[in-house]
Structure 1
Amino acid sequence: MKLLGHDFTPHQPYLEYNTEYYSYKPGIQDELYGLVWEIYQVDNFDFQKSIAFPDVCGDIMVFYSSDKAHCYFMGGTMGLRVMTDLEFFKDIHTIFGVKFCSGALGNLFKGARDTGEDVIVGNNALINGSDTLEKLLEAKTFTERWELVKQYLIKRLNSDYEVDHLVNYVANYIIVNRGKIIIKNLESQTGYSNRYLRKKINEGLGVSIKTFCGIVQFQWSYHLYHQLGGKLSLSDLALQSGYYDQSHMNIIYKKLTGLLPKIAINLYK
């Protein structure tokens, strides 16, 4: 399973703008390319950075504090996620996570969808993964942690992994087109009706096609702004991101984050 070719990965400034943030992105030759977007870790986590952006991917996340570790599957959200809802949040010193490509989750985890507010405790998410979870909670390094998750994923891929290829195709199509699509084009490409496509995507991804497109477009605009070094004016950013104009971008940003673009794109920077 391969992605259709793009450099997009959903952004989370509350993680990325910490003192120590590092990540690994599987290359096209990697057996997990098309399944995993990014493996990341934050050390010396700043708990005052507590607002997570809406995104379109599910993560396996492990939160390490001085005396305990907690593992969750966390689906993408349709709005801001306030991480302080985790009762141990202020005790966290390290966060390790794996971002999964939209539409590729399949049955890697129990009850997990890409988007839709899912928060599933590790014990309930991993399939026959109690040994993996125990070792993951005790692991001390980025490399150890990724190796454990990688082994779990490969084992699932080689056993009864199944993915809805229609959901996977549509998710990739939306991402490649930066959230700007025409449903009629999807109908002609897939052979399925508008109604059936909407039903399958809602079930598979946890949100409607319209909502998924809106979050993808928002994340692409954030990605584009920082990819170009923050040199775009807001009006140019709006046009290059596919919004009608800056006012339209303001409305969408406000709806998804409660923040105007000028504040959102520089959050925690």
Structure 2
Amino acid sequence: MMTDRLNPKQPEFVLVTSDYTKKFVMKHNIAHFYQFTAESNRMSVIPDACVDILFVKQDGKMTTRIAGTRLEKGETDTHINSEVFGVRFMPGTNPVNKLMKLSELVNNEEIFEEMISYEDREYLLESMFFAQSFEEKIHIFLTYYQKYFDWRLEEKTGLKGVLLDEIMKSNGNVKLTELSIFTGYSERYLNKKIHEEFGMNPKNLMRFIRFQKAVSQLTATINQFNGIDTALSSGYYDQSHFIKEFKKLSGLTPTSYIDNLLCNSYDKKLHVLS
């Protein structure tokens, strides 16, 4: 069984709305679902090692897109008053694995409805357009997803699951040499395997896992931030390294990042459903 599973976050999505709703899943290789009405034409995106599928309702029509992880902080387009429903998958999960490699989605967004059959496109877009509630949208998506994506093929005891488990347990602080000793596979093979299965090289995968651990810790202790505790619990070897790396990936120091969230009422806008 996987231990210490990461729930990847995009806190700045919350800042472009007055009401951001999230529901944790943490199964079927889905981290969580989210929903909001955009109040800006742009929103910031940070590295999370994940793929998102977004359904956007605007001006009487529904469009979709699939977005891979960024390698550094960036921005993506939104539209004021558009209603967004999103699905965030766990690291290494590729919901369009028959059409694109994860590496092809890195730093990239594609039109999702062009990747599915005409019948599924009609069902998904029409059903999502007329759905009356967040829970109904979740049910609609899961009905489609479970029909085509067999998450049971993602064996937790297979090499991919073992690698992710070890990386998670170490907070992204395990060396390829150690993984090689633990698994019995060569470093060269593991480097290739990680790139194939997660869409990026081991260094970036571990950086993003460690960074997302820190983001989770920061948002969980948003009113009681302690830089040293966050650095050590997230896998950084000291506070200076933590601050430097966090700023590279978020554009802000940890303290400034928290200040930005608090100044924009992050904790008041975010609503997590059980």
* TM-score, with length taken from structure 1: 0.83
Choose which of 65, 74, 90 in structure 2 pairs with 1:101. 90
Could you tell which deviates more after superposition, 259-268 or 198-207? Answer: 259-268
Match of 1:30 in 2: none
1:169, 1:71 → 2: CA distance?
33
User: 1:66 deviation in Å?
Assistant: 2.9
Q: Does 1:9 align with 2:7?
A: yes
Q: Is the 8 A contact 1:180 1:242 kept in 2?
A: yes
Match of 1:217 in 2: 210
Residues 10-69 of structure 1, C-alpha deviations (whole Å, 9 max, x = no match) = 111122343212222226xxxxx14111011113x2216611111111111112223332
Choose which of 97, 104, 108 in structure 2 pairs with 1:118. 108
User: 1:130 deviation in Å?
Assistant: 2.1
Match of 1:133 in 2: 124
Change (3 A) 1:127 1:10: farther
Change (3 A) 1:188 1:34: farther
1:184, 1:167 → 2: CA distance?
16
2:85, 2:165 → 1: CA distance?
25
Match of 2:34 in 1: 40
Q: Which structure carries more relative contact order (alpha carbon 8 Å, separation 6+)?
A: 2
Question: What SS does structure 2 have at the residue aligned with 1:199?
Answer: helix
Change (3 A) 1:125 1:80: farther
Question: What SS does structure 2 have at the residue aligned with 1:255?
Answer: helix
1:150, 1:48 → 2: CA distance?
29
1:139, 1:76 → 2: CA distance?
29
Q: Is the 8 A contact 1:102 1:168 kept in 2?
A: no
Choose which of 254, 257, 266 in structure 1 pairs with 2:250. 257
Q: Does 1:156 align with 2:148?
A: yes
Gaps of 5+ in 1: 28-32
Give the AA of the match of 1:132. Answer: Y
User: 1:161 deviation in Å?
Assistant: 7.9
User: 1:235 deviation in Å?
Assistant: 2.9
Give me the identity figure in percent: 23
2:97, 2:117 → 1: CA distance?
8
Question: What SS does structure 2 have at the residue aligned with 1:23?
Answer: strand
Instruction: Please tell me the root mean square deviation across aligned C-alpha atoms, in Å.
Output: 2.7
2:172, 2:64 → 1: CA distance?
31
Residues 209-257 of structure 1, C-alpha deviations (whole Å, 9 max, x = no match) = 1111111111101111222344132233222322222221122122222
Residues 94-134 of structure 1, C-alpha deviations (whole Å, 9 max, x = no match) = 11011111123365563152862231211233367323333
Could you tell which deviates more after superposition, 163-172 or 200-209? Answer: 163-172
Residues 193-222 of structure 1, C-alpha deviations (whole Å, 9 max, x = no match) = 101111111122121111111111111011
Gaps of 5+ in 2: 267-274
Q: Is the 8 A contact 2:95 2:149 kept in 1?
A: no
User: 1:150 deviation in Å?
Assistant: 0.4
2:182, 2:28 → 1: CA distance?
21
1:210, 1:62 → 2: CA distance?
31
1:51, 1:250 → 2: CA distance?
19
Give the AA of the match of 2:34. Answer: Y
2:152, 2:260 → 1: CA distance?
38
Give the AA of the match of 1:231. Answer: Q
2:60, 2:74 → 1: CA distance?
25
Change (3 A) 1:237 1:26: closer
Residues 143-169 of structure 1, C-alpha deviations (whole Å, 9 max, x = no match) = 2321221011111145x9854843343
Note the 1:45-84 alignment, pairs <5 A: 45-47=38-40, 50-84=43-77
Give the AA of the match of 1:130. Answer: R
